[in-house]
Every structure is written in C-alpha cells, then in structure tokens.
Amino acid sequence: MVTEFYIDGKWIEPISTTTADVVDPATEQIVARVALAGEQDVERAVVAAKSAFPMWSRTDRAERSALLRRISEVYRRRAPELAAAITAEMGAPAKLAGKAQVPAGLGHVLTGIEVLEHYPFERLRGSTLIRREPVGVCALITPWNWPLNQILCKVVPALATGCTMVLKPSERAPLSASLLAEILAEAGVPDGVFNLVHGDGPGAGTLLAKHPDVDMVSFTGSTHAGVSVSRNAAGTIKRVSLELGGKSANVVLPDADLPAAVRTVVDGCFRNTGQSCNATTRVLVRKDQAAELISLLEKAVEAISVGDPRSPGTELGPVGNKAQFEKVQALIWSGIEEGARLVTGGLGAPDGLDLGFFVKPTVFADVTPDMRIAREEIFGPVLAVLTYEDEEDAIRIANDSDYGLSGAVQSADPEHALAVARRIRTGTVGVNGAGSDLHAPFGGYGRSGNGREWGEYGFDEFTELKAILGAVPHG
C-alpha cells in the first residue's frame, strides 16, 4: 500500500479516501494501492511548504550543499530498492532500471552539488547588485516513464536555490517516489521543505496549479496535460515551466557510416521501450540509401530481446500501462491503414507474451510526413523511416513538426554534422551518438514546452531576478 503522504516532515494518513491501483505492467497484477489527494490534503502540503520557506530560503550555500551530499549517500545505499520499485511500477528491464533509471536520478544530485559550488546568486553590474532569489513554493508534477530522473531534476535545483516544494508524482509510479521521500527524510531535509502527495492530474495536479500560495509549477508530461496546467495556473500569474512531448528526427546524412548510424537509431528509439519524450522516433535517410538502412534496421530490431523485465537478458520490457498499450496499438494500426510499409513488428504482443502490456518492436518504411506515425508522439517502440532528396529536404522534414524537443544527426564529418545540427529547431541535438550531458539545458521549442532543466539552467528556473540599485555607492 502507498496510502500515506509525506507532509511537514511526517508520514500522515490522507483525508481523501479515494485510491487507485498500481499495476505491474509485466504481470497485470496489482502491486499496491495509492491514495489520491483531495483538496484538504493538497492544502496541508502547501501550508507546510509555505511555512518552511522563510527559514529554508535564508540558508547558505554550504548548508544546502551538505544536504545534497547526504542525499547522494543515502540514495546510493538504497539504489537496489529504487531499481526494483521502478521495474514493478513501470516495467523497466532490471538492467535499465539499475544502470540507467536510478543512476540518472543520482546524476542530477551530483550535478547539483557541482553547480551549487559556483552558482552566481549575486553579481555586480556597475553599482547595481543583481540577485537570484528562490522563487518560493514550487509544485513539482512528474510522469511515470523516467520517474527518478524527472523528479530529481526538479527537486535538486529547488533545494539548492532555497525553494520549498510539493511533489505530485504520477499515480502510476508512486513506489519510487515514496522511497525517495524516505531518502530525503533520512538525509535530513528540514520539515516542510519537501512534501509529497500522491494523486492524479485532474485532481491533485489541478489543485496545485491553481493554488494561490504556489509560486511556480514545474511540469513534465504530455503536451495536452501541459496546456491544462498552464490554463489552471494562469489565474494566479505563477511561473510555469513545461517539459512536454516530442517527435524527434534522427537525420542520417549520406556520408554516415550506416551500421554505426543504425546502432544510434535503435538506441534512440527503442531504449526504455520508446517511452522517452526525447526518443528519436523518426529516422530520415536519403532515398537511394533507404533500402540498405532499412535492411540493417530490420536485423537489429528483430534481435532485441523482449520479455520479463526481471530477466537479466531482457532489453525491452512492456509499455507502462494498459492505456499506453492501447494507444500504441491504435497508432500502429493507423500506420498500416495510411499505407506505410510494415518492415517488422506490428499489431499485438510478441510471441509467447500473452500476459502484460508488451508491444512488438516495430519499424515502418515508406512513411510520409503527413502520416500520424510521423506526426504524433507514440511513446512506444515504433520507428518511422522517412526519405529525403537532399540535405535541404532533410532539414525541412526534420523541422516539419509541432514539437521541438530533441533530434540527432549522423555524419562521418563532425563539422558537417554540426552545421546541420545548428539548423534543427529543437532544444537539444545529438551528434553522432553523443549521450546526455546533465550540465546542458534540457527543454524544447514549440509544443515541446518552455523553460529549461538540468545543471545551472535548472537553477535559473527556480529563481527570481532582483536588481538592488545603488548597492555600491559611486565614489
């Protein structure tokens, strides 16, 4: 059971009596029940955060840094529990949970420690002192697909800049969030600085976004839900930071090493069962190279091991829940119906996997930019191969999207790849398989959101700018 909330330094019973089932997507078994916060529960959490803000906002850099170091120590010790929870709640294979999901969260803590050491909370410009001050009480609303990564890239900068917060994780992934609350408590986060309520978006999420004592909402999730958060927050003119969906393109230039490019394409699309907002689910290849690339992709994707996420050899687990499975199946069907060529995968579950929300790793060829599978975020293991005539055409197709979160470029010439990357209108672009950089800004253009997370850019999001004029008298 995940029935208690963490408010003002204590685990307390919710006032609301509404609950939801937490379902293991690999077994379809209920593994927990989670309480869904109502208005009184949210109010208690916000009151606690508001009461703690004057004290915490006045702490110094050394105190906050020491707290982050303690968090990192406790987090490391409890990493196996966190990994097991993620596998149970959203189906990440054990290897991915232990070697990517959990370390990603720790990475934000360690990066936060580095940034905090030199972050410019104050600087002089002439006689004016420019200060970055904590924005206040923050509502952190996070999804289920990379739960600890997406929680800690908000919690860490909020703590480091002197904010207090109420976290509402996805009701589909409450297990890892509750364990994290235990870690923060053990590390000594002061009462009221961090508060946790479970709940769904229409309920607790809306209440937090509307609340007049919440100064900022940091939201990660779907574009549709981000629009709702923005509307609910508008009445109180609070800051809203949104990290939303994506439909990212991986541009394979004609001089690229195709076998190496395929490895990058497969990892970019199929990792975490395609359930990453920055997944590169469109691959663009010049028309005369398409047949070779597709043949290589077919072999690589059919070699992916799909199955029990607790098995050491499994590379691809289930999608996170039944609703997601049904959405992915509907979009696969739309690709077939609209005339794309099914290279591998397709409708239904992989052979021998009749239980659980498993999806066949799927590749479509002959995809045109107007098809749904080329325009909508699928959030599953489905890759669309599109062709282009020349480089200008490739850039045009890559940018022909409502989204602008991520992208990739493959070329044997790094300077050539960089020149194309500069013209891709997205928040991040990976060149030749470059991995994540937790010091780099993460966020998107267009319907992929606004604001930036990670590293010092995440710190900026949680601060207000103040100018103190005449702080240094003219001599």
Q: Which residues are catalytic?
A: 243, 277
In this structure, are strands 282-286 and 249-252 parallel, antiparallel, or unpaired? parallel
Output the DSSP codes for 183-243. HHHHHTPPTTTEEE----IIIIIHHHHH-TT--EEEEES-HHHHHHHHHHHHTTT-EEEEE
What is the total residue count of the chain?
475
* Cα 55 to Cα 53: distance, rounded to the nearest angstrom: 5
**Residues 225, 171: contact at Cβ < 8 Å?**
no
Which amino acid is it at 141?
A: I
- Are the CB atoms for 434 and 414 separated by under 8 Å? no
Residue whose C-alpha is closest to residue 246's, from 343, 372, 378, 83: 378
Displacement of CA 424 from its chain's centroid (Å): 21
Write the DSSP symbol of residue 204: I
Q: Which helix (H) or strand (E) holds 324?
A: helix 322-337
Q: Report residue 407: phi and psi, to 5°.
A: 175, 175
Cα–Cα distance between 412 and 416 in angstroms, integer? Answer: 8
The separation between CA 257 and the C-alpha centre of its own chain, rounded to angstroms, equals: 30
Beta-bridge partners for 384: 282, 364
Q: Vertex 217, ends 215 and 218: CA angle to 5°?
A: 135
Q: Residue 371: what residue type?
A: M
| Per-residue CA distances from 237 to 208, 216, 344 (Å) | 13, 9, 49
d(CA 182, CA 176): 10
Are the C-beta atoms of 209 and 67 separated by less than 8 Å? no
Counting runs of H as helices and runs of E as strands, what totals does the chain give? 16, 22
CA separation (Å) from 385 to 28, 338, 382?
32, 14, 10
DSSP annotation of 349 reads P
Alpha carbon 194 to chain centroid distance? 20
Sign of CA dihedral 347, 349, 350, 351: negative
Q: What's phi and psi for 49, nearest 5 deg?
A: -65, -40
* Contact between residue 322 and residue 357 where contact means Cβ atoms under 8 Å apart: yes
Q: How far is it, in rounded angstroms, from Cα 120 to Cα 1?
A: 43
